[in-house]
Amino acid sequence: MLNSKTEIFCILGNPIAHSLSPQMHNAGFQALNLNCIFVAFLVTNLKEALAGIKAIRNIKGIVVTVPFKQKVLKYIDFLDITAKDIGAVNAISIKNSKLSGINTDWTGAIEALEEKTNITGKNVAVIGAGGAAHAISYGLVKKRAKVIVLNRTYKKASLMAKKFNLDGFYNLEHQSKIKSMDIIINTTSVGMEPDTHMSPIHENNILPHHIVFDIIYTPHETKLIKIAKKKGAKVIHGYKMVLYGGKRIFESFTGKKAPIKIMEKVLINNLYPSYSGL
């Protein structure tokens, strides 16, 4: 029951209507009988939003999403070394009006991958060089994988490779390099609704020995995932990164073990209400 002692958690973004963080976290709170609530805020001014939140002592934690993951850095009082290295924050704990920032995007991706394989020593191709690619590459290097990046813009690929000391960087036109990889990770928006007919990788470059991870979660079966399945490759669906990243945030906020099966069920039911194949 909500009362004057209820602890409030929120997500800040713009847009925000697509976020499933409230459903996932509230299901977790309910399962553990915690006096907490999670809400979504559409933010037009980050500085003012944070000032207001810091003035409300019941608000204990913030999830940060697009477009604020990098912009929020200058307002953080205590920055986790991982978030500093990645250059982005996606979760903030609040204590005595001080903000402590972490990044769980990389842990969400790594945990999803480790359900399928041991990452250490694997050859991995990361497609894209944006924020998600940075977080995932950080995690892959931490796990001692051998990583190359392919991106439409060669310069961005080069900068990311140098930042994380990757094993190679290429223009996406050279995607035949992917054939020798063990794992392929798409971090771009190619294939996301409404452009579900598109894939960032030509099907000739997908082989049966590959593990293909597409971080897009709408639709559930992207064109890339469909190609990979057709070729006999193992696949990882994008919602897994959302789930495991959310799990880490939940545990950081509450100090409790996340009820992962319950959170996963709520996430799936909201993302794919008519999908029966999960």
pLDDT tens sequence across 37-94: 999 999 999 999 999 999 999 999 999 998 899 899 999 999 999 999 999 999 999 9
17 is known to lie in a ligand binding site: no
pLDDT given for residue 55 in this prediction: 95
Rounded distance, CA 268 to CA 243, Å? 10
Residue 137: pLDDT above 70?
Answer: yes
What percent of the chain clears pLDDT 70, i.e. is strictly above it?
A: 98
Note whether 7-103+241-271 and 107-237 share their fold.
Answer: yes
pLDDT confidence bin for 131, thresholds 50/70/90: confident
What is the fold of 7-103+241-271? Rossmann fold (3.40.50)
pLDDT given for residue 277 in this prediction: 55
pLDDT given for residue 275 in this prediction: 62
pLDDT given for residue 124 in this prediction: 98
pLDDT given for residue 151 in this prediction: 96
Rounded distance, CA 230 to CA 224, Å? 10
User: What is the torsional sign of CA 48, 49, 55, 61?
Assistant: negative
For 7-44, what is each residue's pLDDT tens digit? 999 999 998 988 899 999 999 999 999 999 999 999 99
pLDDT given for residue 278 in this prediction: 54
For residue 257, the Cα-to-chain-centroid distance in whole angstroms is 19
- Residue reference for tokens 């509450």: 254
Question: Could you tell me the residue ranges of all domains in the chain?
Answer: 7-103+241-271, 107-237
31 is known to lie in a ligand binding site: no
Q: Active-site positions? A: 69
Q: Which amino acid is at 175?
A: Q
What percent of the chain clears pLDDT 90, i.e. is strictly above it?
A: 89
203-to-93, 217, 228, 262 alpha-carbon distances in Å: 43, 20, 8, 35
156 is known to lie in a ligand binding site: yes
Mean predicted lDDT score pLDDT of the chain = 95
pTM: 0.91
For 83-97, what is each residue's pLDDT tens digit? 999 999 999 999 999
Residue 129: pLDDT above 80?
Answer: yes
What is the fold of 107-237? Rossmann fold (3.40.50)
pLDDT given for residue 144 in this prediction: 98
Provide the b/e sequence for 234-258 (b: ≥16 CB within 10 Å): ebbbbbbbbbbbbbbbbebbbeeeb
- Residue reference for tokens 């944006």: 130
236-to-8, 39, 134, 225, 240 alpha-carbon distances in Å: 33, 29, 19, 8, 7
244 is known to lie in a ligand binding site: no
19 is known to lie in a ligand binding site: yes
